[in-house]
Structure 1
């Protein structure tokens, strides 16, 4: 136990060091180079502490938002609620971002317990997974849901006990697997889909490599499977029903099939998330999806494992290679350019729910395969394989994190004047990574005392089968036309009628642009009230209804 605690403490020390820039102001700044997703996660953490509801009309009023089609992380919201209720949602977000890699690394060290003999090797492998290029990239993008990469190693540990060891209690192992999958459904459904896909690939590789053992284990696997499905449905039946048939869910595919495909160049080209890197060339995907760096040392280690490694090493390499190909997506990209080459990832486009996963996010499974290889290699080093040790050292060095973690401002100014109102905002709420979702923070600071007709979410409404943020409306179009182009062509009467039809009772403007303020006065019929940092305009006709 002391050794395990020391391992976890070392992961925590690394995480705190890399995120030390947020420690001086954990309530006023948020981890990440971009603010949009940080604000989105902060909103959901605050919402869970305010009311534990998976369908809410606090955004996108009156249609509302389906939490399970968004990065609502309700399980983390519950776990971090004591921090949210005492120090605030921004502090809770930062705590979650710091602890995610720590828990993920600890889970990996545990999972390798029956695979890697040396405790030191397991600790190194866990640290490599915890602070891998995959996690570092999503740290930069403020993706709280993905830095909690706990499910893959947990599934690996359970699968090893069920598929490789002699399972003495398959019902229990199956129930624990169902519990892990069910809890993940309450954290983030994409990672649930990724984990299940990884299990399927691993089981297929094991069956192909060890067919006799697979036949012998079939009765135990059936019992485990029944226990897994039953436990999963018991734990996650409700969130699963919201994903499949809940209100306000998207009615069309969310993204292009090519969105989020990994770039082949990233395999051998490190980005600025690692200490050793050059100028980062153009790559497919945003900065959060550019965490697929493996490096030459990984390829050498994989080749050695195939030629001279044992069964565990070979199975790890083959499984990791299959998942790496799938992470490249349906078509091959190099330096951001499509090469016109179709890939096996095409088949995933026809799998429900899995088709919505950005392919690059399968890189978390490739990263886990690398961690397993490193653990197995360090066991061989103890047995005298010096050359393998040099390769592992080279791998670890090239994966060392850059001291490049940043923070963004997290402004939070309450608007008590809006209590009980249905609010439109200008600037409008958007998914822009740099401040687009900031009006959500005012709603958090106000204790969710008012509803927003806008929002940053994935969903739909009666007029739009897919929304990634609230749709433009006549009021917003008029404000944009005046602020950006000085146009006065839009009709204030039509804008007012639209606001009333959607139940808006107040417009909050955090801009001092004279043309926008004049437009808002004409639409609302209100002269407006000066607030700290903005203006409030009531819609009298709406309030009288």
Structure 2
């Protein structure tokens, strides 16, 4: 393993330079591991210990169990709590595969929101998994891709953090396994597993952290060796040059920069918001970790800055076109106004709904929606973490982790604190942070996800400390007490199987692609057009192999001249009219002005046909459209159809 090899190289270099291994001259570790620790048996990076494979299998089995309801029925099963997000994500995967298969630009498409289209880069399409899994999507359908990504995301994130903890934080694999388990299956992860692959596939974040930690360690060792060599005799100085050639050669720095640049670029292709939150949290962690030794921090910073700068250049080279498209391309937007999206204080101490604690001790529903239970750590775990951080405060990792938990927990509460959905009027730091560019696009409730690996690190360190104490004295009751308390804290957070319902089948008119006979170069206008509260038509379009573009849809795009982002398109008069008719169950008043607005909308959409499938208050909608157009529809298979070619 690289950590052991680094230690051996450092020792050889120090010896060659004439250094003496003392507390002051021996390089201190990064992320809690001293560089003078006894090296482990080096293993090639591509190999895994048998225990690692066992841990990975366990994580995968748990992830498959959590999503077993969806796995059992990938044809008509639908995760209940996803709202319309599962439909949206399946469409993202389907249209990405369609673009790749037909050699079209995947960064933008007019198959939704016709004719303006959708900026896919500005819509978290996760090309990092959508493009590689194109064969899966084409062979088995987007639902299989969706549930596969979620399953591998949960298990992969857990295992990646386990590997980081076992390599850089603790020696005890059980402790690392507990940390990885919490990182992969924390309440926020299970909540997002109903709808948001971009917040579930987070395995690259600990890999990026590991890369930065190794770079920092090598930079620190370089600085220490150079200092030692400067005080040594000339012969040692010459020897230092030979030893350092393997440690400090430019090729190594370039290799580090390329690896980091590739990792960050790939994470951008998976999800930018998690990367931003991670970067802020990791920066705070490092700041607190090195706060006791500013000179050491300066040495590390000097050592890694050139490499990080080169990695940034590489990342920009790899992502220049996609990022330009996202921020300046067609249908791009500058920011998005989410409104108040902070965590309720009660959300910090309650149990998540999809957990054993949520089943047996449900609390008030204070989440902004079922897929955003980003805190919900439960009071037993929070109490345990507070006490553990206090007891282990002298440990630098624990102090840094505690700072991340506290700072991001407060930021996640939003601009004004609320308790039980009632505003307290107390202004919080997010009131000022939300005006910072990029930060103003983040849902503040998601900032608590930065606390997940920090909590996991505290639990892992405390577990190793307990086992070490038990090995020293088998009659000591403290280790047993720790595991008992840990079980009481984590057991209520055990995830349950995510509930699934059956969705209605795709209308035959789309499923057998009869729609092709009625569409030329225009769009299909559903009655009413798809929108964020009802995006079913996106699935029907995918089932028809994207034989037609859709007016309306579910996406994020710009509105007005300010280019502020909103969910769905600007509401057209005809859309508002049809939605009102469906919601009220009554035909609205229709006059000449209403008909003129409808005609303008049809021309804007470049509509070929209006299609009314089976839907609530379908009779009211049919009568409304008939009065708007002045003629009755035709029944084609299982839909009503108005041919509006002559009106264009």
CA distance in 2, matches of 1:299, 1:180: 36
Cα deviation code 1:295-348 (max 9, x no counterpart): 333433343333335222222222222222222222212122221112222342
| Farther off after superposition, 461-470 or 392-401 | 461-470
Where in structure 2 are the equivalents of 1:34-53 lying within 5 Å?
34-52=82-100, 53=106
Shift of 1:255: 1.5
Pair 1:360-2:445 in alignment: yes
Partner of 1:340: 425
- In structure 2, relative to structure 1, the CA distance for the partners of 1:314 and 1:482 (3 Å cut) is closer
1:31 aligned to 73, 79, 90, which one?
79
Partner of 1:297: 381
Cα deviation code 1:354-387 (max 9, x no counterpart): 2210112122210111111121122112202514
CA distance in 2, matches of 1:505, 1:463: 29
Contact preservation (8 Å) 1:137, 1:291? yes
1:75 aligned to 128, 143, 164, which one?
128
2:322 aligned to 239, 254, 258, which one?
239
2:282 aligned to 190, 199, 211, which one?
199
Contact preservation (8 Å) 1:31, 1:139? no
Partner of 1:272: 353
The DSSP-based 3-state class of the residue aligned with 1:449 is coil
Partner of 2:241: none
Partner of 2:523: 422
Pair 1:118-2:212 in alignment: no
Partner of 2:184: 130
Shift of 1:526: 5.7
Contact preservation (8 Å) 1:331, 1:340? yes
The DSSP-based 3-state class of the residue aligned with 1:460 is strand
The DSSP-based 3-state class of the residue aligned with 1:501 is helix
Cα deviation code 1:193-249 (max 9, x no counterpart): 212222322232233233121012122121222122112112222222123222212
CA distance in 2, matches of 1:170, 1:394: 46
Contact preservation (8 Å) 2:607, 2:645? no
Partner of 1:406: 500
Shift of 1:34: 3.0
The DSSP-based 3-state class of the residue aligned with 1:287 is coil
1:13 aligned to 56, 61, 64, which one?
61
Q: How many residue pairs end up in the alignment?
A: 537
The DSSP-based 3-state class of the residue aligned with 2:52 is helix
Contact preservation (8 Å) 2:526, 2:612? yes
CA distance in 1, matches of 2:385, 2:87: 40
| Farther off after superposition, 354-363 or 239-248 | 239-248
CA RMSD of aligned residues (A): 2.4
Pair 1:531-2:636 in alignment: yes
CA distance in 1, matches of 2:392, 2:537: 58
CA distance in 2, matches of 1:503, 1:133: 45
The DSSP-based 3-state class of the residue aligned with 1:456 is coil
Cα deviation code 1:389-427 (max 9, x no counterpart): 333222222321134543452743424324444111113
Contact preservation (8 Å) 1:276, 1:402? no
| Farther off after superposition, 406-415 or 152-161 | 406-415
From the CA coordinates, give the structure whose radius of gyration is larger. Answer: 2
CA distance in 2, matches of 1:530, 1:453: 21
Partner of 2:600: 497
CA distance in 2, matches of 1:42, 1:223: 41
Partner of 2:574: 475
- In structure 2, relative to structure 1, the CA distance for the partners of 1:501 and 1:427 (3 Å cut) is closer
Partner of 1:64: 117
Contact preservation (8 Å) 1:12, 1:102? yes
| Farther off after superposition, 534-543 or 180-189 | 534-543
Contact preservation (8 Å) 2:535, 2:554? yes
1:380 aligned to 465, 469, 475, which one?
465
With normalisation by structure 2, the TM-score equals 0.78
The DSSP-based 3-state class of the residue aligned with 2:556 is strand
Pair 1:55-2:108 in alignment: yes
CA distance in 2, matches of 1:190, 1:541: 46
Shift of 1:463: 7.1
| Farther off after superposition, 156-165 or 452-461 | 156-165
Contact preservation (8 Å) 1:266, 1:283? yes
Structure 2: stretches of 5+ with no match in the other structure: 1-47, 101-105, 222-246, 470-477
Contact preservation (8 Å) 1:136, 1:291? no
| Farther off after superposition, 37-46 or 148-157 | 148-157
- In structure 2, relative to structure 1, the CA distance for the partners of 1:273 and 1:24 (3 Å cut) is closer
CA distance in 1, matches of 2:552, 2:80: 24
CA distance in 1, matches of 2:275, 2:154: 18
2:589 aligned to 477, 488, 513, which one?
488
Structure 1: stretches of 5+ with no match in the other structure: none
- In structure 2, relative to structure 1, the CA distance for the partners of 1:459 and 1:122 (3 Å cut) is same
CA distance in 2, matches of 1:464, 1:4: 51
Shift of 1:485: 2.6
Contact preservation (8 Å) 2:67, 2:498? no
Shift of 1:183: 1.0
CA distance in 1, matches of 2:439, 2:204: 16
With normalisation by structure 1, the TM-score equals 0.92
- In structure 2, relative to structure 1, the CA distance for the partners of 1:488 and 1:96 (3 Å cut) is same
Shift of 1:289: 2.0
- In structure 2, relative to structure 1, the CA distance for the partners of 1:318 and 1:507 (3 Å cut) is same
Contact preservation (8 Å) 1:27, 1:87? no
The DSSP-based 3-state class of the residue aligned with 1:244 is helix
Where in structure 2 are the equivalents of 1:207-356 lying within 5 Å?
207-256=290-339, 258-259=340-341, 261-277=342-358, 278-294=361-377, 295-308=379-392, 310-356=395-441
CA distance in 1, matches of 2:424, 2:254: 47
Contact preservation (8 Å) 2:349, 2:382? no
CA distance in 1, matches of 2:646, 2:298: 73
Contact preservation (8 Å) 1:263, 1:283? yes
- In structure 2, relative to structure 1, the CA distance for the partners of 1:409 and 1:501 (3 Å cut) is closer
Cα deviation code 1:448-488 (max 9, x no counterpart): 11111211111025678443112332333443454433323
CA distance in 2, matches of 1:348, 1:221: 28
